Amino acid sequence: MKLILITLWLSVPLAVAAYHYGPGQERLKGDLAAAHLADAAAAAAGGDHHAAIKAIDAALAALPADAVAEARQLRLARAQERLPSGQLPEAHDELDALLAELAADPAADPAVKRETQNALASSKYYLAWLMRLEGGTEEQWKPEIEAARQHFRLLAEEAQAAGQTTLVTTQRENLESAIKLARMDLTDLQGLPLPKQCKSCSSGKCKSKAPPKKGPPQDSRGAGKAQAPDESGS
């Protein structure tokens, strides 16, 4: 759905931009970007995340060099497609870099920044879950879940300031999930079904950021069951 909305939103300015950027190659670039986005939307709707990523890559390559805002939205969409496709570490790194770029730009779209921050918090949550299951030490996975907690808290505070009560509830639930994941017994965590973002990365299909620890893993103790965060973000 997000890619479909991006396609509908982006195709109009690209059509207008064709005339702004002049005839010839720049117009071709705009037409190609819109066509690749249509392919990405179709792939995403069909659950083919790898094809969607490939089409987004092509759309990014076809965008005019100064289409910065559009490129940022596409980079966000690409990272969101990476999450369920077995590319969790790559999604995490891409979102981390994108959020830093958005934070440094006063003219950046606040909605894109919020969505990026929410996606990054979710990626850190899933990465911490996967690192724990792979036998990572507390020193390895705890910074990820602590960062996720901080992002969810800031998003909840921002939503509260904006009077977005439903979003406040969602982000507070995400915050609680992060706290529970940090406190949960490893044996309890192992008994839970894997989130799809972790399932795609399990069994050696992708590698988390920390190498597995040799010997029994160490855990924080605590009650409660972790729950995958709501990734709607808005």
Over residues 120-148, the pLDDT tens digits come to 999 999 999 999 999 999 999 999 999 99
Q: Quick one: 66 and 158 in the same domain?
A: no
Torsion on CA atoms 127, 130, 135, 138, rounded to nearest 10: 40
Q: Say what the pTM is.
A: 0.76
pLDDT score at 117 = 97
Q: Quick one: 94 and 206 in the same domain?
A: yes
In-domain check, residue 220: yes
The per-residue pLDDT for range 200-222, each reduced to its tens digit, is: 675 444 555 544 444 443 433 33
Other Cβ atoms closer than 10 A to 144: 27
Residue 18 is which amino acid? A
Mean pLDDT of 30-43: 85
Q: Quick one: 168 and 219 in the same domain?
A: yes
Q: Quick one: 66 and 90 in the same domain?
A: no
Question: How distant is the alpha carbon of residue 23 from its chain centre?
Answer: 36
Mean pLDDT of 48-62: 93
What is the span of the domain harbouring residue 11? 1-70
Q: Quick one: 140 and 59 in the same domain?
A: no
Tally of domains within the chain:
2
**CA-angle at 118, arms to 112 and 120, nearest 5°:** 100
Phi-psi region of 22 (alpha: psi -120 to 50; beta: other; left: phi over 0): left
Say yes or no to pLDDT of 16 above 80: no
Counting residues of the chain whose pLDDT is more than 70, the rounded percentage is 72
Say yes or no to pLDDT of 109 above 50: yes
Q: Quick one: 122 and 186 in the same domain?
A: yes
C-alpha Rg value of the chain to the nearest Å: 19
pLDDT score at 90 = 93
Q: Quick one: 122 and 208 in the same domain?
A: yes
Reported as a pLDDT band with limits 50, 70 and 90, residue 37 is: confident
How far is the C-alpha of 27 from the C-alpha of 32, rounded, in Å?
9
In-domain check, residue 81: no
Say yes or no to pLDDT of 12 above 60: no
Given the structure tokens 């069909």, which residue do they identify?
46
In-domain check, residue 75: no
Q: Quick one: 29 and 112 in the same domain?
A: no
Phi-psi region of 53 (alpha: psi -120 to 50; beta: other; left: phi over 0): alpha
In-domain check, residue 76: no
Mean pLDDT of the chain, nearest integer:
79
pLDDT score at 11 = 39
